[in-house]
């Protein structure tokens, strides 16, 4: 487990500045992915899946290797299970997770944080690492701050939410 940490609050402050300058939601999502990806050396794939009303997650902005999993049904994989169970997922060893969809053979652990307001789920932040057990509780908390900020941006944009 790495002792490296980063500040989700600082990322949110940067997103505040960008939103105040009039940046739209799609560009804010891309910037959030970029800021998160750069924030931690163990983040090897960082992306956002958006939830659509047909109960499908669709890949939005991401940084890392291209993935075949552009569409994921609710309930499928770690990403779809997070939505079905309405809870974040921290998988320390993906080889021990039966409901795992492999994007890259290099991935060892995965973190999924829902972008939600209560039961209304807009999207999720998905981060893969080549290290086992890459996401300590502090890291998870900092990513959650950014996800919470993005939930506010979705709500402010009038985007629909599934819940």
**Interface ranges with ligand SME (CB under 6 A):** 45, 67, 69, 72, 77-79, 100-101, 103, 110, 126, 128
Shortest CB 126 distance to ligand SME, Å: 6
CA atoms within 13 A on the CB side of 82: 25
Distance between CA atoms of residues 100 and 115, nearest Å: 20
> CA nearest 94: which of 132, 37, 65?
132
Smaller CB separation from ligand SME, 19 or 42: 42
The dihedrals phi and psi of 127, each to the nearest 5 degrees, come to -130, 130
Shortest CB 35 distance to ligand SME, Å: 18
Smaller CB separation from ligand SME, 19 or 37: 37
Smaller CB separation from ligand SME, 12 or 83: 83
Q: Which residues contact 89 (CB under 8 A, 6 or more apart)?
A: 78, 81, 82, 110, 111, 112
Smaller CB separation from ligand SME, 101 or 120: 101
Smaller CB separation from ligand SME, 29 or 79: 79
Shortest CB 21 distance to ligand SME, Å: 30
Shortest CB 85 distance to ligand SME, Å: 13
Shortest CB 122 distance to ligand SME, Å: 17
Q: How far is CA 145 from CA 34, 105, 125, 127, in A?
A: 15, 29, 11, 15
Nearest to ligand SME by Cβ — which residue? Answer: 77
Strand order in the sheet with 71-73: 71-73, 56-63, 45-52, 120-129, 109-117, 89-91
């Amino acid at each position: 487990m790495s002792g490296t940490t980063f500040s989700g609050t600082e990322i949110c402050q940067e997103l505040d500045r960008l939103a105040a300058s009039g940046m739209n939601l799609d560009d804010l999502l891309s910037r959030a992915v970029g800021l998160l990806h750069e924030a931690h050396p163990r983040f090897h794939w960082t992306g956002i899946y958006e939830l659509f009303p047909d109960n499908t997650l669709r890949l939005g902005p991401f940084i890392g290797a291209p993935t075949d999993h552009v569409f994921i049904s609710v309930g499928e994989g770690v990403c779809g299970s997070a939505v079905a169970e309405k809870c974040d997922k921290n998988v320390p060893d993906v080889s021990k997770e039966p409901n795992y969809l492999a994007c890259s053979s290099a991935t060892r652990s995965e973190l999924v944080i829902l972008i939600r307001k209560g039961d209304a789920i807009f999207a999720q932040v998905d981060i893969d690492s080549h290290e086992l057990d890459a996401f300590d509780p502090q890291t998870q908390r900092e990513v959650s701050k950014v996800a919470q900020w993005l939930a506010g941006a979705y709500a402010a944009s009038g985007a629909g939410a599934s819940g």
